[in-house]
Amino acid sequence: MALNVTDLRVYYRTLRGEVKALDGVTFSVADGEIMGLAGESGSGKSTLAKSLIRLDGRMRHVGGTVELDGKTMPLSDDTGMDRFRFREVSLIPQYSMSALNPTRKIGKMVGELLESRGERPERAELERRLELVGLSKDVLDRYPIELSGGMKQRVVMVVSTLLNPSLLIADEITSALDVSSQKAVATTLLGFRDRGLVTSMMVVTHDISLVYQIADTIMVMYAGRLAEKAPADVLVTAPRHPYTKQLISALPEVGVRYEDRRLTGIPGNPPSLLKPPGGCRFRDRCPLAFEQCAEQPPFAEVAPGHFVACWKAE
Amino acid sequence: MRRYFGRKLLIYGLTFFVAVTINWMIPRFMPGDPVQSMLSRANVAQPAAVEAMRAHYTAMFGLDLPLWQQYLNFWGSLLKGDLGISIWLFPTPVSDVIVRAVPYTLGLLIPSILLSWFAGNRFGAFAARRKWLDNSVLPIGYVLTATPYMWLAILLAWALGIVAGIFPVAGAYGFDLQASWSWTFLGSLAQHWFLPFASLFLVAFGGWAIGMRNMIIYELEADYVNYLRALGAPTRLVRRYAFRNAILPQVTGLALQLGVLVAGALVTEIVFSYPGLGHLILQAIQNQDFFLLQGTFLFIVIGVLIANFIIDVAYVLVDPRTRTGMGGAA
Amino acid sequence: MRNEALHFALRNRKLVVGTVVIAVFLVAGLAGPLMFDHGPNDYVGPAMAPPSGEFWFGTTTFGQDVFAQFVYGLRATFLVGVLGGVLAAAVGMVVGFVAGYRGGWVDELLNMLTNIVLVLPALVVLLIINAYLGVRSIGVQALFIGLTSWPWAARAIRAQTFSLRSRDFVDLARLSGVRTPKIILREIAPNMSSYLFLTFILLFGSAILVAASLDFIGLGPTQGVSLGLMLNNAARWSALQLGLWWWFIPPGAGITAIVGALYVMNVGLDEVFNPKLREM
Ligand SMILES: Nc1ncnc2c1ncn2[C@@H]1O[C@H](COP(=O)(O)OP(=O)(O)OP(=O)(O)O)[C@@H](O)[C@H]1O
Ligand code: SF4
Ligand SMILES: [Mg+2]
């Protein structure tokens, strides 16, 4: 097992109290697995992604553990996490366009980054990987401002995977791109896994239909909790959680993101994460809700590799 | 890069033109025709000086020529390097008086600007996001940068000069000395130089430190910093990059602050009777020596323009993006 | 949202301290002069008296009451700061908005103008102008300070306007035929109001400093009293050599405190308006 997350709770400190953006999630990602992570805006996807690599100043690790390749990650210990970052777990951020230091030539920046991590920069390997994403080695002698947005993103993809991490997290990296570039990025990610440059991947997305093409499994979040996780085709063809069903039925043609469409037929909004109600968090909007839903349903394995948090999913 | 310098030079050329025009216009068009009233109320003891003044005004403005011709004549004499005769030090040409004073002003300005800039930036970057420094030392930075130059100069002169008696508080060297390369003279020069330098340095230092501290804090929130941190880059590298990037707006800031720094030097010189341009300005005002005042004005403008150009060159050296022809700031 | 800003504003030490200092000096400047039945320049006491119960800040070589001069001087200082700051902010806003919103040759032209005024050393220009003025007043001083100190504000506002210009709500207004001045006033300015306020505070502070320098050189208002003029008189009449520290310390300390408080307020406000800078 590459990644094991157990009952992870991460809250944001705010003036009005703690936002329980990640409230007890348990799942694992196997070696070689590409997991898509979907869910409405505000459901906690980015919070989960950030928790696994670097908490920001307002996030607080309240409970739960994360194990990567059998080693427990010290989430709230910023320096302790450095041992894992880049080598074991790495990130392709959403802001790839501005992720590179504007006043350093790319090659130099990469060299300095590697050196600062005690790694020896190998020019030949770097060039080979750039070629893999369709960039010539000339980009190493250029400043970020001289590259197009897409080129910058590919540079970032190469940099992030340079040390062959066990887990690569990609957060919304396709949302700013047009359809054909989205495809290219998805294919590149797949290539990274197939060539063994990264072991497993977590791809956060707004676009189930796109991630469906590369993901082995898809996990759906709702209001800070997990709703369902299943092999990609099972989740898309035979979802069991009422929320996932709504998502899938609203699923449009490839390329149109579901956020663009209102989740028609589901009245109401997700509950506030400041003081979330007990029980199933989807209860207010669930057509199937009944008395037992006042208790929190477990995230149970209903079929091999298929987990659902719903009393009605047997 | 050509375009960058081309634009800059155009602006400096235009600025010079505007400065000369202001210089010509103000005495000509101020309410009550100052030229006439000046001739009448010139409180100059020597009649020769009044005569010289009248002759010069006539040559320069040709008071009964058409305006455009007056204006051209003004440029003509200016381009010949003729700034008129000083009334205060009659009959020394204004340009001579100025040239004698310039080294003192530069001797104060250049070291204080450069040293305060380097030290302030270093210090500000060091203090940023280090809680105890941020809370204890930076308030001092705010006080320093809010201090009027002349007041700090007065305080230093009073405390270290008059009360403690460590430093002299007037002139550029001992009254009993003759300019020479002797150790005594140089020592006296350095002694007299120190307090005005220190007060200029301290005020400017506070400003740079605060500016850098705020810049770095912005930089540390930038996306590239978050990315580096996510890849586990050590603080050392992150701070180095942030410093490197935050220094760029500080170079631009240096150009923006030049006027203020020069003004600071002028009032500081007045406090210490230091014989630079500020001292000249005070004398010119007190003696109604308008040629001297206007000549000094032009001289300072030219100096500031040259300094701006030097900073432009420096900016190209520190911001690689300007060299790739991709623009960049400023 | 409003409440949140207020909450941070009240909790921000820099902002609170700055505001309190400004308020104290403002009250002193407004109410102080009412304590006296004599003018600030009247010869009311013994010469060179150190601070005492009767003359809180002592007296000058001529027996003028330094405290009276100080509180009257505060008035002048605030007045010149506000007038100069408002004028500079107004010019900077007009130039910045128009250049940023219009773009094209208008922008080129205004940018050129901005850059020219920017490189001209303001104080030296002011020196020349004021030297030729027979009678000088605070109003005229503020006028010229305002007219020379707007460029950096114009630059900053132009850049902000530039980034707002292409936002949806501005497009919408433009498409629905709203006229340019109205778009600027209704759509663009409100969206950078906090920024404009910060700019004004800095202009306020720098106007005070410039005025003080002018006064000190001897080109201050020909009548009345200001903190800068007090420094000028103290230096001119050898307060240093005579050891009359009570004459030159208060005016400088007053200017420093006011300007410093403005700067600190500025940074505090920035932290309040900009969530990224808030420390948790
Ligand atoms: N810095 C923060 N301070 C307070 N609350 C936050 C902060 N960042 C996120 N949240 C809250 O945490 C919850 C989860 O946010 P998160 O960014 O993880 O959502 P997401 O699923 O990534 O959404 P999106 O699809 O919009 O990116 C939201 O309710 C959000 O309001
Ligand atoms: S647990 Fe109940 S409320 Fe929640 S999804 Fe299942 S049926 Fe709906
Ligand atoms: Mg997100």
pTM: 0.86
pLDDT digits over C190-213, tens only?
A: 888 888 888 999 999 999 999 999
B321 close contact with A: CB closer than 8 A? yes
Do residues C272 and C244 touch, judged by C-beta distance below 8 A? no
Q: How far apart are CA A251 and CA A258, in angstroms?
A: 6
What number does the ligand 2 atom closest to the CA of A293 have?
A: 2
Q: What is the pLDDT of residue A260?
A: 47
Q: Which residues of B touch C112 (CB under 8 A)?
A: 11, 14
Residue contact B245–A159, C-beta within 8 A: no
Residue A213 sits in a domain whose CATH number is 3.40.50.300
Q: What is the pLDDT of residue B60?
A: 59
Question: Is A280 among the domain residues?
Answer: yes
Three-state SS string across A222-277, please?
Answer: ECCEEEEEEEHHHHHHCCCCHHHHHHHHCCCCCCCCHHHCCCCCCCCCCCCCCCCC
Q: Could you tell me the pLDDT band of residue A261, with boundaries at 50, 70 and 90?
A: very low
* Nearest beta carbon to residue A143 from set B231, B241, B320: B320
Among all residues of chain B, which has the CA nearest to that of A119?
B233
Q: How far apart are CA B16 and CA B26, in angstroms?
A: 15
Residue B204 sits in a domain whose CATH number is 1.10.3720.10
C179 close contact with A: CB closer than 8 A? no
Do residues A170 and A189 touch, judged by C-beta distance below 8 A? yes
C1 close contact with A: CB closer than 8 A? no
Question: Is A227 among the domain residues?
Answer: yes
Distances (CA, A) of C98 to B114, C89, C95: 36, 14, 5
The chain-wide mean pLDDT, for chain A, equals: 88
Q: Does the beta carbon of A266 lie inside 6 Å of ligand 2?
A: no
**Is the model's pLDDT at A195 over the cut of 60?**
yes
For the record, the structure tokens of B44 come out as 């100059």
For the record, the structure tokens of B55 come out as 């002759």
Do residues C195 and C210 touch, judged by C-beta distance below 8 A? no
- Residues having CB closer than 6 A to ligand 1 are A 12, 14, 19, 21, 39, 41-47, 58, 273
**Is the model's pLDDT at C221 over the cut of 70?**
yes
Q: Which residues of B touch A83 (CB under 8 A)?
A: 232
Mutating which of A81, A116, A146 best tests the B interface, going by the most B Cβ atoms within 10 A?
A: A116
In sequence order, what are the residues at sequence separation of 6 or more whose Cβ sits closer than 8 angstroms to the Cβ of residue C185? Answer: none
B241 close contact with A: CB closer than 8 A? yes
Residue contact A13–C280, C-beta within 8 A: yes
Q: Please give, rounded to a whole number of angstroms, the shortest distance from the CA of C272 to a CA of chain A.
A: 14
* Nearest beta carbon to residue C213 from set B14, B145, B150: B150
Question: Is A58 among the domain residues?
Answer: yes
C205 close contact with B: CB closer than 8 A? yes
- What torsion do the CA atoms of B20, B21, B22, B25 make, to the nearest 10 degrees? 130
Angle between the N-to-C axes of helices B290-318 and C122-132, in degrees from 0 to 180, rounded to the nearest 10: 170
Q: What is the pLDDT of residue B254?
A: 92
A95 close contact with C: CB closer than 8 A? no
What number does the ligand 2 atom closest to the CA of A286 have?
A: 8
Q: Considering only CA atoms, give the Rg of chain A.
A: 20
Whole-number Å distance, alpha carbon A20 to ligand 3 midpoint, is 15
Q: Does the beta carbon of A104 lie inside 6 Å of ligand 2?
A: no
Q: What is the pLDDT of residue B36?
A: 59
Q: For ligand 1, atom 11, name the residue with the nearest CA.
A: A21
C7 close contact with A: CB closer than 8 A? yes
What number does the ligand 2 atom closest to the CA of A297 have?
A: 1
Average pLDDT over residues A156-171: 94
DSSP E strands, chain A: 3-14, 17-29, 34-39, 59-68, 71-72, 89-92, 167-171, 200-204, 217-222, 225-231, 300-303, 306-308
C11 close contact with A: CB closer than 8 A? no
Q: Which residues of B touch C115 (CB under 8 A)?
A: 11, 15
Number of residues in chain C: 280
**Is the model's pLDDT at C218 over the cut of 60?**
yes
CATH class as words, domain C2-32+60-277: mainly alpha
Residue contact A15–C7, C-beta within 8 A: yes
A117 close contact with C: CB closer than 8 A? no
What are the DSSP calls for C234-271, one per residue?
A: HHHTTHHHHT-HHHHHHHHHHHHHHHHHHHHHHHHHHH
Q: Could you tell me the pLDDT band of residue A310, with boundaries at 50, 70 and 90?
A: very high
Q: How far apart are CA C98 and CA C110, in angstroms?
A: 8
- Identify the CA nearest to C77 among candidates B153, B140, B146, B273: B146
Q: What is the pLDDT of residue B325?
A: 56
Ligand nearest to the CA of A278: 2
- Identify the CA nearest to A176 among candidates A253, A93, A247, A101: A93
Q: How far apart are CA A111 and CA A117, in angstroms?
A: 10
- Please name the residues between 127 and 146 in chain B that touch chain C, using a CB distance below 8 Å: 139, 142-143, 145-146
pLDDT digits over A85-116, tens only?
A: 999 999 999 888 899 999 999 999 999 999 99
The neighbour count for residue C245, using CB atoms within 10 Å, is: 20
ipTM value, please give it.
0.91
Q: Which residues of A touch C280 (CB under 8 A)?
A: 13, 57-58
Q: For ligand 1, atom 29, name the residue with the nearest CA.
A: A42
Q: Please give, rounded to a whole number of angstroms, the shortest distance from the CA of B37 to a CA of chain A.
A: 59
Number of domains in chain B: 1
Q: Considering only CA atoms, give the Rg of chain C.
A: 22
Q: What is the pLDDT of residue A262?
A: 42
Q: Would you give per-residue pLDDT tens digits along chain B (330 residues)?
A: 778 888 889 989 999 998 888 888 887 776 655 555 566 655 555 666 666 666 666 665 556 677 787 788 878 878 887 777 777 777 788 888 899 999 999 999 999 999 999 999 999 998 887 878 877 777 888 999 999 999 999 999 999 988 888 888 888 777 777 777 788 888 888 888 999 999 999 999 999 999 998 889 889 989 999 999 999 999 999 999 999 999 999 998 998 889 899 999 999 999 999 999 999 998 888 887 878 888 899 899 999 999 999 998 888 888 877 776 544 443
Neighbours of ion ligand 3 (CB under 5 A): A 46
- What torsion do the CA atoms of B152, B154, B155, B160 make, to the nearest 10 degrees? 120
Q: Could you tell me the pLDDT band of residue A140, with boundaries at 50, 70 and 90?
A: very high
**Is the model's pLDDT at A264 over the cut of 60?**
no
- The pLDDT > 70 percentage for chain A reads 94
Q: Which residues of C touch B262 (CB under 8 A)?
A: 121, 123-124
Map residue C68 onto helix, strand or coil. helix
- Please name the residues between 14 and 53 in chain C that touch chain B, using a CB distance below 8 Å: none
Q: What is the pLDDT of residue B54?
A: 67
Question: Is A260 among the domain residues?
Answer: yes
Among all residues of chain A, which has the CA nearest to that of B320?
A103
Average pLDDT over residues A127-152: 90
Q: How far apart are CA C120 and CA C147, in angstroms?
A: 12
The sign of the CA dihedral B284, B290, B292, B295 is positive
Q: How far apart are CA A19 and CA A23, in angstroms?
A: 9
Q: Which residues of B touch C123 (CB under 8 A)?
A: 259-260, 262-263, 266
Number of domains in chain A: 1
DSSP E strands, chain C: none
Which residue range forms the structural domain that includes residue A178? 3-97+164-308
Whole-number Å distance, alpha carbon A178 to ligand 1 midpoint, is 25
Do residues C257 and C21 touch, judged by C-beta distance below 8 A? yes
Among A164-173, C183-192, C265-274, the range of highest mean pLDDT:
A164-173
The neighbour count for residue B55, using CB atoms within 10 Å, is: 11
Q: Does the beta carbon of A282 lie inside 6 Å of ligand 2?
A: yes
Q: Which residues of B touch A146 (CB under 8 A)?
A: 324, 326
- Please name the residues between 100 and 119 in chain C that touch chain B, using a CB distance below 8 Å: 112, 115-116, 118-119
For the record, the structure tokens of C42 come out as 């009247």
B154 close contact with C: CB closer than 8 A? yes
For the record, the structure tokens of B146 come out as 């809010």
Among A60-64, B21-25, C155-159, C258-262, the minimum mean pLDDT is found in B21-25
Test site for ligand 1: of A46, A173, A226, most ligand atoms within 8 A of the Cβ: A46
Q: Please give, rounded to a whole number of angstroms, the shortest distance from the CA of C262 to a CA of chain A.
A: 27
The DSSP bridge partners found for residue A8 are A25
Would you kindly state where each structural domain of chain C is located, as residue ranges?
A: 2-32+60-277
In sequence order, what are the residues at sequence separation of 6 or more whose Cβ sits closer than 8 angstroms to the Cβ of residue B181? Answer: none
Q: Which residue has the tokens 């009649």?
A: B47
Question: Is B78 among the domain residues?
Answer: no
Q: Which residues of A touch B223 (CB under 8 A)?
A: 93, 95, 98-99
- Identify the CA nearest to B193 among candidates B281, B110, B259: B110
Q: Which residues of B touch A105 (CB under 8 A)?
A: 320
A13 close contact with C: CB closer than 8 A? yes
Q: How far apart are CA A42 and CA A270, in angstroms?
A: 9
Q: How far apart are CA C268 and CA C133, in angstroms?
A: 40
Q: Please give, rounded to a whole number of angstroms, the shortest distance from the CA of B22 to a CA of chain A.
A: 41
Which residue range forms the structural domain that includes residue B141? 99-326
Q: What is the pLDDT of residue B47?
A: 67
Size of interface A-C (CB pairs under 8 A): 5
Q: For ligand 2, atom 3, name the residue with the nearest CA.
A: A283
C278 close contact with A: CB closer than 8 A? no
Q: Does the beta carbon of A150 lie inside 6 Å of ligand 2?
A: no
The DSSP bridge partners found for residue A18 are A13
Do residues A145 and A161 touch, judged by C-beta distance below 8 A? no
Among all residues of chain C, which has the CA nearest to that of A16?
C4
The chain-wide mean pLDDT, for chain C, equals: 86
